[in-house]
């Protein structure tokens, strides 16, 4: 009988040791698992680069978009993409890290993009966000602006709008606002 109790205690000790490492690790949340899946299936065009160095600690990635056509060609625009615990039920939070002259991006970096707001659905992913941002640089939307001044100029005087975009992409000032040099 004593030997049977010793065997039971030994089995319990071994089971506890086997569970200890698993308990020390934190299980990946559903949001983290989904982000990992998104990254595994992501197909980036040559005009977009991805930096994942903050993914583990902050649930954040950085995108760099460098349009090769349109009025923003030649610029390099950085974005942060933060995945909250509610992802993919809710969209990631995306901010432009450069101060730029764009009808759909305000000077604080907020972005007016329907797939980041009311059109978001859990079947969308990081690929959807990347394509939406690329589209904003190819086809800025003056009818749904965050930067009303840029939108008005774009709609009233497309030549002046393009001139303003090109000038502000080199840094400097326009109408009292300081812009980042995004050409380097």
In DSSP notation, the chain reads -HHHHHHHHHHHHHHHHHHHHHHHSPPPPHHHHHHHHHHHH----TTEEEE-TTHHHHSEEEEEE--SSSTTTT--EEEEEE--TTTTTSPPEEEE-S---BTTB-TT--B--GGGTTT--TT--HHHHHHHHHHHHHS--TTS-SSHHHHHHHHH-HHHHHHHHHHHTEEEEETTEEEEE---
Q: 54 an active-site residue?
A: no
Cα 150 to Cα 103: distance, rounded to the nearest angstrom? 5
Q: Which of 48, 65, 112, 182 is catalytic?
A: 112
C-alpha count within 13 angstroms, C-beta hemisphere, residue 157: 8
CB count within 10 Å of CB 72 equals 24
Catalytic residue set:
112
């Amino acid at each position: 009988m004593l030997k049977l109790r010793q065997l039971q205690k030994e089995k319990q000790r071994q089971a506890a040791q086997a569970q200890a490492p698993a308990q020390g690790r934190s299980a990946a949340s559903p949001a983290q698992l989904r982000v990992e899946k998104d990254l595994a299936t992501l197909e980036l065009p040559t005009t977009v680069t991805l930096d994942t160095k903050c993914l583990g600690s902050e649930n954040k990635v950085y995108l760099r978009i460098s349009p090769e056509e349109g009025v923003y060609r030649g610029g390099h625009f950085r974005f942060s993409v933060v995945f909250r615990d509610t992802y993919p039920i809710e969209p990631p939070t995306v901010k432009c890290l450069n101060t730029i002259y764009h009808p759909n991006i305000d000077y604080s970096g907020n972005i007016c993009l329907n797939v980041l707001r009311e059109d978001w659905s859990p079947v969308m992913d990081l690929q959807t966000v990347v394509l939406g941002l690329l589209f904003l640089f190819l086809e800025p939307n003056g009818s749904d602006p965050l930067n009303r001044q840029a939108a008005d100029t774009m709609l009233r005087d497309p030549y002046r709008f393009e001139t303003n975009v090109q000038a502000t992409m080199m840094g400097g000032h326009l109408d009292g606002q300081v812009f980042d040099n995004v050409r380097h």
